[in-house]
Structure formats: structure tokens, C-alpha cells
Amino acid sequence: MKVVVRIVNYIRSHGLTHRQFKEFFFSFEEEYPDIPYHAEVRWLSKGKVISRIFRLRHTVAQFLESKGRPEPLFHDPEWVADLGFLADIMAFLNDLSLKLQKENNLINDMISKINAFQYKLKLLKNNLSEKNTQHFPELASVQEGGRFEKYVEVLQSLENAFNDRFQEISYLQPILDVFVKPFSMDIESAPSDLHFKLIDLQSDVHQKDVFYNTKGLLQFYQNLSKEEFPKIAVSQSLVPDLSSIIANKIKSP
């Protein structure tokens, strides 16, 4: 990462160098005539930077040599394979981040995406332990220098980090179930102070019909009587607080 950032910042911070770089790329008729500027505060942009540099590494290496600043790591098979692996991993993380930032996401949507990503990590780890690069297109293109045992360790570390950061989710599940599926959840699995009102709600044919015919959970709770179902109606107010937990967990890389 540090090597790529140094190269990109060298190219982008010098106007003449940047212009020459673009002209150099056009002379090779490359698919990508430029590279995105990297800033430390925009860590998600690193994924795009890594991927672009990886795919254009031969041309970037030639350009740096033409400027008298050769980068020997571009000729190191192990380092190039590591770069490909990193590009693939950052692509997965960027994709997750975009899904979590999707407009009108509710807490249950976010948790579902995080749970899915954690399952994917297990699959990816098992794949690489067998040197299967099916889901790693960049690494697959240069797997000659791949250090698969190291990559499995990285994925294990990433899996541990996710498990650690989002361990609160299991404790929040009962209240989330009340919010997401109030008419189908098992009463006894809900918080005890909601048992009687959940029974009343599930027995209310009108409310059940409204629930299954309303577009969106929030609309249903906005119309649910706070006098008749105070604690259940109030449960939807927890959603912003729970969402902030998720947001805070993904702010840092």
C-alpha cells in the first residue's frame, strides 16, 4: 500500500509529471488513461487506486523508469502477487461499504449484508487454502508468485476483526426480530416486557393486514398506535441508534 501511495502521489503532485504520465498512457492506448488521486482520509479510494496500479503496472513501471525513478518491486513476482491479492480484498471491502451506504438501508438490511460478508470470508479463506483463485481475478492473473498461506492468514485476521467489531449484533437480535418480523416471531424469544403486547399485536387481524400490505417497515411503525402499543411502537426509534453502531464499526479501515 505504501509503495502504491508513494507512486501515485509522486505522479499526481507534479503537474508536468502528471501531464506526461497521461500522454505516456495514451501512447500505449491503455484502457485507463489516468489514475485516481489518493488521499489518506478517503481510505475507500485506496481500493480503486490499488486496482488501477495493478492492472497498469507494466506501463507505470516503464514510465517511472523513463523519469529516472525505477521501482524494482514491479519486477518482484511475490510483491506483484501480493498487490493483486490486496486489490481483490479491497474490491470486496469497497463493495460492502457501498452496500451499507445505500439509501434507505435499515438496520436489518445492514446486518444482513455484514453477515453475508462474514460467510463470504469463510468461503474465500477455504478457497485460498486450496489455492483456488476463482474469486480473486487479480491474484489469479499472477498467481505464480502467490503466497497462499500468508493470504489465508490475512483473511483469518480480517474474519477475526469482523467477528470482534460486530459481536454486539447477537445481543441485539431479539429487539431486531421484534422490529423486522413482529407477526411471525416466537413470542417467548422476544424481550419479556413485550410479550403481552406482542400477543395483542399478532392477534390483531387489521394490524397484520396493514403490516403485510404496507410499503416499508418504517411506514408501518409510523402508523402504529403509540397509545395501544407503546413499547413496540417506540422500538423503531432504536433503529437510528443501532445503525450508528454499524456505521462507527466501518469508519476505520
Q: 50 with 27, same domain?
A: yes
Instruction: Provide the pLDDT for residue 39.
Output: 47
pLDDT in tens, 26-40: 554 555 555 555 544
Chain-wide mean pLDDT for the chain? Answer: 80
Instruction: Provide the pLDDT for residue 74.
Output: 92
Domain range enclosing 227:
169-250
| 51 domain residue, yes or no | yes
Residue identified by cell 416499508 is 216
| 1 domain residue, yes or no | yes
Q: 18 with 36, same domain?
A: yes
Nearest of 100, 131, 132, 119 to residue 159 by alpha carbon: 119
Q: 162 with 173, same domain?
A: no
Of 166, 195, 215, the residue at which a domain comes to its end is: 166
Instruction: Provide the pLDDT for residue 106.
Output: 78
**Mean pLDDT of the region 200-226:** 85
Count of domains observed in the chain = 3
d(CA 202, CA 213): 15
Give me the helices (H) in the chain, please: 2-13, 15-27, 45-55, 57-66, 77-100, 107-129, 137-140, 148-165, 168-180, 195-202, 205-213, 217-223, 230-235, 238-250
pLDDT in tens, 42-101: 555 677 778 888 988 898 898 889 888 899 999 999 999 999 999 999 999 988 988 888
Q: 66 with 9, same domain?
A: yes
Q: 177 with 245, same domain?
A: yes
pTM metric for this prediction: 0.74
Of 27, 46, 75, the residue at which a domain comes to its end is: 75
| 84 domain residue, yes or no | no
Q: 153 with 178, same domain?
A: no
Of 166, 182, 207, the residue at which a domain comes to its end is: 166
Q: Please return the burial class of 58, using the count of CB atoms within 10 Å of its CB with bins 0-12, 13-18 and 19+.
A: exposed
Q: 204 with 180, same domain?
A: yes
pLDDT in tens, 113-168: 999 999 999 999 999 999 999 999 999 999 677 899 999 999 999 999 998 888 87
Instruction: Provide the pLDDT for residue 40.
Output: 45
| 104 domain residue, yes or no | yes
d(CA 194, CA 165): 28
| 229 domain residue, yes or no | yes
pLDDT in tens, 3-34: 888 888 777 777 777 777 776 555 545 555 55
> Which residues are CB-neighbours of 111 under 8 A, at least 6 positions away?
169, 176, 246
